[in-house]
């Protein structure tokens, strides 16, 4: 039994959930998201709750059960509150700024890095050493933040690089003479 899948998704006021066969669409104040449930599970919307149940109790049905429920819950959370990921730049001369729809970063390379903002994502650089990625789709926000972090991952000797706020970077001791 899936402990996550058994829970019903609560639909708050101001959010409308519509189901057309296996396709679930959620509309809220921040936007609209849709997801097609896998064929191994079915969804039922009644009252203020959306429940997901497996069609057949096999490995596929059980593995898709919790995932489908979490996807619907993340859509509801996204259209009501949205998701954000905060990144910080650490290193001498490391800085970021927005130029229109492009994030311009200086990360210690001989050239600047320009990152185009994807569709449905909002990127802000309130300070020269911090970047905030926000949007309604949790997967897209996380993927965009990971792509930005990939340009210069934090290294273990001096800790320089792009990291998530609150991320712990394990430090190593350098060479000894």
Give the domain 83-164 fold.
Answer: Outer Surface Protein A; domain 3 (3.90.930)
Are 46 and 83 in contact, with CB atoms under 8 Å apart? no
pTM for the full predicted model: 0.89
Nearest residue to 102 via CA among 90, 91, 94, 113: 113
pLDDT tens digit sequence for 44-93: 988 899 999 999 888 888 889 999 999 999 999 999 999 999 999 999 99
Kindly state the DSSP code that residue 37 receives in the 8-state scheme: P
DSSP 8-state assignment for residue 7: S
- With contact defined as beta carbons under 8 Å apart, do 151 and 113 qualify? yes
Nearest residue to 82 (alpha-carbon basis) of 24, 137, 9: 137
* Residues 133/144, Cβ–Cβ less than 8 Å: yes
Model pLDDT for residues 126-171, shown as the tens digit of each residue: 999 999 999 999 999 999 999 999 999 999 999 999 999 999 999 9
Cα–Cα distance, 174 to 166 (Å, whole number):
24
37 touches 44 (CB < 8 A): no
Q: 32-36 and 41-46: which strand pairing?
A: unpaired
Domain boundaries of the chain, sorted by first residue: 3-80, 83-164
The helix or strand, by DSSP H or E, that contains position 89, with its residue range, turns out to be strand 83-90
CA–CA distances in Å: residue 147 to residues 58, 125, 144: 36, 16, 5
Pick the CATH number of 3-80 from 1.10.540.10, 3.90.930.12, 2.30.30.90, 3.40.50.300: 3.90.930.12
* pLDDT band (50, 70, 90) for residue 1: low
Secondary structure letter of residue 13 according to DSSP: T
Query: Is 53:65 a contact under the CB 8 Å cutoff?
Result: yes
CA 94/CA 53 separation, integer angstroms: 49
Do domains 3-80 and 83-164 share one topology? The answer is: yes
């Amino acid at each position: 039994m899936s402990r996550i899948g058994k829970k019903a998704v609560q639909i708050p006021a101001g959010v409308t959930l519509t189901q057309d066969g296996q396709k679930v669409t959620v509309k809220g104040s921040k936007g609209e998201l849709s997801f097609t449930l896998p064929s191994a599970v079915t969804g039922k919307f009644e009252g203020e709750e959306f429940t997901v149940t497996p069609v057949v109790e096999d490995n596929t049905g059980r593995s898709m059960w919790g995932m489908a429920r979490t996807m619907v819950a993340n859509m509801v959370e996204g259209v009501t509150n949205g998701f954000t990921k905060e990144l910080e730049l650490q290193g001498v001369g490391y800085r970021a700024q927005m130029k229109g729809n492009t994030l311009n970063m200086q990360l210690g390379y001989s050239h600047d890095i320009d990152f185009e903002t994807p569709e449905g994502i909002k990127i802000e650089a309130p300070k020269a050493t911090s970047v905030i990625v926000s949007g309604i789709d949790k997967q897209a926000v996380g993927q965009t933040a990971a792509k930005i972090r990939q340009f210069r991952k934090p290294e273990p000797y001096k800790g320089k690089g792009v990291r998530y706020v609150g991320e712990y970077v394990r430090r190593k001791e350098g060479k000894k003479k």
